[in-house]
Structures are given as C-alpha cells and as structure tokens.
C-alpha cells in the first residue's frame, strides 16, 4: 500500500535521542518486512545519537537515502549488512519533528498506534506530562487520547525516582512500558541477536508478527537449538 493511499493505516515510529538507534532500525526493518506502513518521526536529539552511533547524518531533504543507509547498517556498525531495496521504503512516510501540523498530530489521522524506540527519559517525561514540545511527543499524546496502542521502549540506566513515576503514569494511561532489556535464552551469538530480541519484544507488544528471535518452547536449551 503506497504512502499516499487513503486506506493506509500506518504505525508511527518515533525515534528519540537515547542511545539505541540499532533498536529502531531493527523495528523498522521488521515492520516493513511484515508489510506494515510506517510514519517515521526522528527527533532533533536522535540525529546526534544516530550520527555518533552510525556515522549517518539524517537530513530532512534527503531522508529516504539516509534511512536506506541506516536500515542497511547492522548493530556492529558495518554498512550493507542488510539488503534494503529502494521499493521497500515506499511504505514509509517521513514527518519532520518540528512539523506540528503533520498528520500524526491529529486524532483524525488514522494509525494503528505508535512505537517509541528508543525512548529517552526526556521523551518519557514529555509524553507523561503531555508537553507536546515536538511532533514525537504530540503523536504519543494523540495515540493515548485516541486509545491506540503505544509502546515505549525506554533506554536508560539507572532509572531515578522521577522517571519511574513518569513510567507509572504512562502505564496507567494505557501505554506498554518496555525497557530495552535483551535476554540471553534465545541463543544469541552476535550483538545483532540481542538488538533483534528487544525489537521483537517491541513488536510483540504491538501485536505485529515477526521472526526476529526464537521463542521459548518450555524446554531448557530449546530456544538455542535449531528449529
């Protein structure tokens, strides 16, 4: 389904300034592989993190080329780890973080929900308090008020008391609070496996099918053995 299709009902993916841009890349690749439409919002702070973690400068005017480079890069920082055909990005619509008149800023704009990955503590606070200082926070507030699914993949440690209170507020408002906490029972052998586990749990919380990690089968060692 094309980005301009009026029947389109995308997932909003918000990327905040916390460390963890590989998590966002994994989620985006899996959403597109599942045939889901994506509305992408990249905060100003996250551009600095993306540049530091991948060497990629994300530019509004060249977002498609920059996004393709980003999604092709693995968690180890090596380029061209993943094949990302240009046509894959036909299901992505990009909105600038400063565009408060963008589609996702309105409840009448149809979406399936929103995934914030990674979510910084500043982003968590802004959403919990309803500040709507940029499109990412506004989109999250709209998602909550419309009763749509909001998954907040918080990436910070340790967590102070104020942030914990904000996370409780988000939980009470109906959001799924999902710390970026990789597990090791799924037979991880590379850093990408740990990244994909977190991304997979984000998609589990959203109800989106994926094959990013091996699921627990009730047998010790079962997850790490070949299917």
DSSP 24-52: HHHHHHHHHHTT--EEEEE-HHHHHHHHH
68 annotated binding-site participant: no
19 annotated binding-site participant: yes
29 annotated binding-site participant: no
132 annotated binding-site participant: no
b/e for 41-70, b at 16 or more Cβ within 10 A?
A: bbbebbbebbeebbebebeeeebeebbbbb
8 annotated binding-site participant: no
Query: Cβ(175)–Cβ(144) under 8 Å?
Result: yes
Residue 101 three-state SS:
coil
201 annotated binding-site participant: yes
Strands of 176-177's sheet in order across: 92-96, 38-42, 11-15, 113-119, 149-154, 176-177
46 annotated binding-site participant: no
Annotated binding residues, written as ranges, equal 17-19, 43, 155, 185, 201
Annotated binding residues for FMN, written as ranges, equal 17-19, 43, 155
Annotated binding residues for dimethylallyl phosphate, written as ranges, equal 185, 201
């Amino acid at each position: 389904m094309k980005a301009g299709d009026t029947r389109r009902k995308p997932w909003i993916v918000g990327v905040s300034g916390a460390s963890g841009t590989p998590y966002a890349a994994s989620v985006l690749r899996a959403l597109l592989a599942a045939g889901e439409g994506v509305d992408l919002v990249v905060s100003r702070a996250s551009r600095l993190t993306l540049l530091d973690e991948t060497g990629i400068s994300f530019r509004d005017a060249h977002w498609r080329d920059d996004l393709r480079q980003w999604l092709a890069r693995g968690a180890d920082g090596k380029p061209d780890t993943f094949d990302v055909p240009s046509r894959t990005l036909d299901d992505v619509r990009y909105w600038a973080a400063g565009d408060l008149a963008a589609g996702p800023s309105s409840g009448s704009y149809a979406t399936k929900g929103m995934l914030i990955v990674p979510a910084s503590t500043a982003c968590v606070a802004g959403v919990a308090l309803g500040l709507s200082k940029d499109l990412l926070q506004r989109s999250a507030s709209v998602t909550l008020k419309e009763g749509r699914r909001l998954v907040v993949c918080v990436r910070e440690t340790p967590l102070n008391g104020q942030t914990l209170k904000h996370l409780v507020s988000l939980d009470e408002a109906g959001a799924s609070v999902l710390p970026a906490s990789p597990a090791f029972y799924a037979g991880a052998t590379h850093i990408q496996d740990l990244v994909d586990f977190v991304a997979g749990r984000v998609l589990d919380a959203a109800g989106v099918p994926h094959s990013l990690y091996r699921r627990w089968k009730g047998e010790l060692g079962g997850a790490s053995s070949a299917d």
